[in-house]
Amino acid sequence: MTPTPALLAISHGTASPAGQAAVAGLVDAVARRLPDVTVRLGHVDVQQPDVAASLDAIPQGTPVVIVPLLLSAGYHVRVDLIAQTAGREGVVIAPALGPDPRLVDALLARLAPLAPTADDALVLAVAGSSDDRANEDCRVTARMLGERLGREVSVGFLAAAEPRLDVAVAEAAAAPGARTVVADYLLAPGYFHDLAVRMAAGAPVAPPLLGDDEPPASLVDIVVDRYRAAAGLSD
């Protein structure tokens, strides 16, 4: 009998202790949802264990489903993970977490304490990628968020793409409206969230999807669903 595939969640990695704890909390919540599955956390950059060390810690012969804890499919998903898993049999790489309507649920929950009104301009802060397919994934999320709110949501990138967040915020602030509010399309606290706050130039910024509270159930659902689909497991 083929063993049940292990779930290896691979995050980008961060030097932020708060970000590390938030991502670990998400993986712990996924493990509680899948008590009969080996669930491990590794990182594609910055932190250890890296992908190779994470795979080495899983017994040979055990199939592995890698679930990228990344909001879009950019260089890390399309290139890094493929290169870093080459030579290891039985590894399947699931799609990135987004775009997915359930991420919009999480964004709305994070925005709620800022109480955006119908007059407010809304900007989605996105990390940005050298792969425009990843950037387009984020634009899709902005459109889905706009559809839910019945308004246009612009996108501001923190790196690698245009318009940068500070430009997007300035353009939004120049239009008639009560204020500009920034939705933070980042997984966890860290460098990019801190940069978003600086680039927002005083505009209120919602927290990242993960924080020091319980991970959103919708985010746990996405990780579990990505794993089950890639593993070929029925509900």
| 92 shares its domain with 113 | no
Q: Which of the four pLDDT bands, split at 50, 70 and 90, describes residue 234?
A: low
Helix (H, G, I), strand (E, B) or coil at 52: helix
Q: Which of the four pLDDT bands, split at 50, 70 and 90, describes residue 84?
A: confident
Within a domain: residue 219? yes
Predicted pLDDT of residue 142: 98
Angle at 215 between CA 75 and CA 105, to 5 degrees: 75
Number of independent structural domains in the chain: 2
57 lies in which domain range? Answer: 6-97+213-231
Statement: residue 33 has pLDDT above 90: yes
Within a domain: residue 208? no
Report strand pairing: 180-185 vs 121-126.
parallel
Predicted pLDDT of residue 88: 83
Buried b (16+ CB within 10 A) or exposed e, 161-188: beebbbebbbebeeeeeeebbbbbbbbb
- Rg of the Cα trace of the chain? 18
Within a domain: residue 205? no
CA distances from 116 to 63, 126, 196 (A): 46, 19, 18
Predicted pLDDT of residue 45: 86
| 161 shares its domain with 176 | yes
| 77 shares its domain with 50 | yes
**What mean pLDDT comes out for the span 73-93?**
81
Helix (H, G, I), strand (E, B) or coil at 12: coil
| 88 shares its domain with 108 | no
Within a domain: residue 204? no
Q: Give the CATH number of the domain where residue 38 resides.
A: 3.40.50.1400
| 178 shares its domain with 106 | yes
| 184 shares its domain with 124 | yes
| 105 shares its domain with 92 | no
Q: Give the CATH number of the domain where residue 186 resides.
A: 3.40.50
| 69 shares its domain with 39 | yes
| 132 shares its domain with 48 | no
| 44 shares its domain with 20 | yes
Statement: residue 8 has pLDDT above 80: yes
Within a domain: residue 66? yes
Predicted pLDDT of residue 3: 84
| 92 shares its domain with 11 | yes
Q: Which helix (H) or strand (E) holds 11?
A: strand 6-11
Predicted pLDDT of residue 89: 87
Statement: residue 174 has pLDDT above 80: yes
| 150 shares its domain with 117 | yes
**What mean pLDDT comes out for the span 92-120?**
95
